[in-house]
Structure 1
Amino acid sequence: MNTTPSAPARRAELLAAGAATVTVVLWASAFVSIRSAGGAYSPGALALGRLLAGALTLGVICLLRREGLPPRSAWRGIAISGVLWFGFYMVALNWGEQQVDAGTAALVVNIGPILIALLGARLLKDAMPPRLLAGMAVSFAGAVTVGLSMSGEGGSSVLGVALCLLAAVGYAGGVVAQKPALGRASALQVTTFGCLVGAVICLPFAGQLVHEAADAPASATLNMVYLGVFPTALAFTTWAYALARTTASRMGATTYAVPALVVLMSWLTLGEVPGLLTLAGGALCLAGVAVSRSRTPKPAAPGAVPEPRAGKAAGPSA
C-alpha cells in the first residue's frame, strides 16, 4: 500500500503551512506595533481602532470577491469567536500589558495553546498524539524561558496577570468556537464577520478613540492602522485558512513560534539585544513547534511492495 500523499494533498498541506507561517510572523510584528501605539491609545480605543481598520479592509476584499453572508449554521461560531477573540481578548491583552512587563504578559498568554489543546480534545474530539504533546511541552518551556529573561525588575500587578490570563482564556475559547464555523463558511467570511462582531463589542470605546486620535502622534495612529490591516485582516484570514485544514490543537501549538520571532524583531527594529537565555528560549520555542507539526510515519501494510524510486523501472506486475 502506498502511503505517500498525493500531489493535491501535498500542495494543500504546503499552502496551509505557508498560511500558518504568515500568521505567526504578522502576529509577532503586532507586539512591536502595540508597544508603539499603546503609548498614545488606551486599551479599548486601540482595540476598536485596530478592529475598525481590519473590518474595513476585509469588507472591501469581500465586496471585490463577491463573498455573500455566511450561512446561518456558521453564525454561532462566528459570533462567539468575535466576542471572545476579536473583542474581549484584544482589550484584555492591551490592558494587561499596561500593568505588567512584556515578559510576564507573554508568559501568561502562552497558556493559550495548552487551553486550546484541552478544549479541542474535549469539545472537538481533536486527537492528542504524543508528538503534539511533546512539542507543546518543549515550546512552553521555551516560552517560560523567554518570559523570565525579558521580565523587568518591577513587580507584576495581580490585576495585570489576571487580565493576561483572561486574554488567554478568550483566545482559546475563540479558536475552538471558530473551528466548526470554518466547516460551513469560508475563511474570509468567518474572519470578516468575526472582526465586525468584535468591533461592535468595542463600540463603547468610540469616544476615547476619537479624543485620543486628535492628540496622538502620526506614528502611533499608523501603527494602529497597521495592526488592523496586517496582523488582524490578513493574519486572521490566513489563520482561518490554515485552521480549516488542520486541528485546533496543532494550530495552537504553531503560535509558540511567536515569542521567538518577537525576540528577533525587537532585536532588528528596536535594537534590543537579547541575552543568551532569551535566545535559548526562542530556540526551544521553534524546536517545539517543529516537533508538534511533524508527523509519525505510517507503517507499511504487511506484505506491501515498496514503491519504486523515480528513474528505475518497476518490477513485473502480477
Structure 2
Amino acid sequence: MPAVEPAAPATAPDTSGGAQTGPLALAAVGITLVLWASAFVGIRHLAHDFSAGALSLGRLTAGALALAPVALAQGLPRPSGRQWLSIATIGVLWFGIYNLSLNAGEQRVDAGTASMLLQVSPVLIAVLAAMFLGERFTAQLAAGLALAFSGVVVIGLSTSGGDNTGDLLGVVLCLVPAAAYSISVIVQKPLVAELSAVHVTWLACSIGVVTCLPWAGRLVAEVGDAPLSSTLWLVYLGVFPTAIAFTTYAYALRHMTASALGVTTYLVPPLTIVMGLVFLDEVPPVVAYAGGVLALVGVAVARRSR
C-alpha cells in the first residue's frame, strides 16, 4: 500500500455483503489510487526543498487541520484509556515514523521504487496476524513471504550500483514504513470496530504532528526558503492524499468488500511510475521492475484465498 496515505478504514467491518459495486464507489476507488500514487511523486519532488522531518510535520499538520472539521462534525471523540494507547501507537508509528522514514528514503530512491517496496506490507500484515491474531501461518504464506522478500532484495541490488550504498540505504528506509504500517494495522483492527474511523485517523494524525514537533524550527526555516509552489505542494500532500483520499477510500469501503478494495491498491506502483515519468522524468532501473513484479507475486501468493 502506498505512501502515507491514512487507511484506518481498511480494517473496518465490511458491510457490503458482496453487493455489486456502483459507479460512485468505483470513482471513489479511482480518486483514492491516483491521490495515493501522487503522494510518492510529491514527496520526491519536495526532496530538494524540505528535509524529511520538516516535510513530515508540514504534511501531517495540513492533514490534521483538514480532517478536524469532518471529525468534529461527528461529535467529540471519547476514547477509553486502552483506546488512547492504541491511537498513540498508531500515531507514532504510522503517521510519525512512517512519514519520517519514507520521506528520507525518497531522497535516495525514485518514487516508483518506493511505492513498490511498500507493497510487501500485506505479507507482513499476514505474518503479524498469524502471530498476534491467531490466524494460521501456512506453507502458502511462507512461500509468498519468501517471494516478496526476494523481490525486495532484487530492488535493493538494482538501485545500489558499485560502491554507492546511498540508494541501498534508501531501500532500507522505504522498508521501515512498510513495517510501521503493518504493525499499525494489527493495532487498529479492533480499534476501528469500536470508534469512528474518522476520529481514529484524526487523533492519530494529530499525535503524528506532536511526534514531529522537534522539526518545527526546520519547517519554518525551510518554508521561508522554499518557493511558493513547493509550499503549495506540501499543503497538497496533507489535504489531498491524506484527507480527501481517506474520505473517498472510506466511501468505497462502505460499498465494496474489503478484500476487493484491498486488491486495487496494487495499482498504486504502476500509477506512481507513470506519474514519476511524466512529472519527474524518472523511472526505476529496469531490473527493479522484475523485483517489483516478484514482490507483488509474493504478496498475491501469500494473500490468495484457498
Same-fold call, TM cutoff 0.5:
yes
- Per the alignment, in what secondary structure is the counterpart of residue 38 of structure 1? helix
- Per the alignment, in what secondary structure is the counterpart of residue 48 of structure 2? coil
Q: Could you list the runs of 5+ residues in structure 2 that have no partner in the other structure?
A: 1-14
- Tell me what 2:224 maps to: 214
- Tell me what 1:31 maps to: 40
In the TM superposition, what whole-angstrom CA distance separates every residue of 1:151-202 from its partner, at most 9, and x where no partner exists? 6677223754554343332222222212211111122111111111101111
**Corresponding position: 1:197 with 2:207:** yes
**Corresponding position: 1:75 with 2:81:** no
- Tell me what 2:67 maps to: 58
TM-score by length of 2: 0.73
Indicate how the Cα distance of structure 1 residues 54 and 117 shifts in structure 2: closer, same or farther if over 3 A, else same: same
In the TM superposition, what whole-angstrom CA distance separates every residue of 1:18-69 from its partner, at most 9, and x where no partner exists? 7666544322211110111121111111000000100011012223x33331
Distance in 2, matches of 1:120 and 1:201, equals 27
Counterparts of 1:167-182 in structure 2, within 5 Å, are: 167-182=177-192
| Structure 1 stretch displaced more, 131-140 or 67-76 | 131-140
Q: Which amino acid aligns with 1:51?
A: L
Q: Size of the alignment, in residue pairs?
A: 285
Counterparts of 1:21-170 in structure 2, within 5 Å, are: 22-63=31-72, 65-72=73-80, 74-98=83-107, 100-102=108-110, 105=114, 109-126=118-135, 155-157=164-166, 160-170=170-180
Q: Could you list the runs of 5+ residues in structure 1 that have no partner in the other structure?
A: 1-6, 297-318
Indicate how the Cα distance of structure 1 residues 237 and 150 shifts in structure 2: closer, same or farther if over 3 A, else same: farther
In the TM superposition, what whole-angstrom CA distance separates every residue of 1:247-297 from its partner, at most 9, and x where no partner exists? 8xx94x76444322211222333344677656666666777777777655x
Whether contact under 8 Å (2:90, 2:188) holds in the other structure is yes
Whether contact under 8 Å (2:156, 2:171) holds in the other structure is no
Q: Which amino acid aligns with 2:92?
A: V
In the TM superposition, what whole-angstrom CA distance separates every residue of 1:71-101 from its partner, at most 9, and x where no partner exists? 3253332221111010111112212333x33
Distance in 2, matches of 1:87 and 1:180, equals 21
Q: Which amino acid aligns with 1:221?
A: T
**RMSD of the alignment, in Å?**
4.0
Whether contact under 8 Å (2:36, 2:268) holds in the other structure is yes
In the TM superposition, what whole-angstrom CA distance separates every residue of 1:214-260 from its partner, at most 9, and x where no partner exists? 1101221111111101222233455567499648xx94x76444322
Distance in 2, matches of 1:93 and 1:207, equals 20
Whether contact under 8 Å (1:116, 1:175) holds in the other structure is yes
| Structure 1 stretch displaced more, 258-267 or 175-184 | 258-267
- Whose RCO is larger (CA < 8 A, sep 6+)? 2
- Tell me what 1:10 maps to: 18
Q: Which amino acid aligns with 2:202?
A: T
TM-score by length of 1: 0.71
Whether contact under 8 Å (2:60, 2:208) holds in the other structure is yes
Indicate how the Cα distance of structure 1 residues 161 and 283 shifts in structure 2: closer, same or farther if over 3 A, else same: closer
Whether contact under 8 Å (1:48, 1:199) holds in the other structure is yes
State which structure, 1 or 2, has the greater radius of gyration over its C-alpha atoms: 1
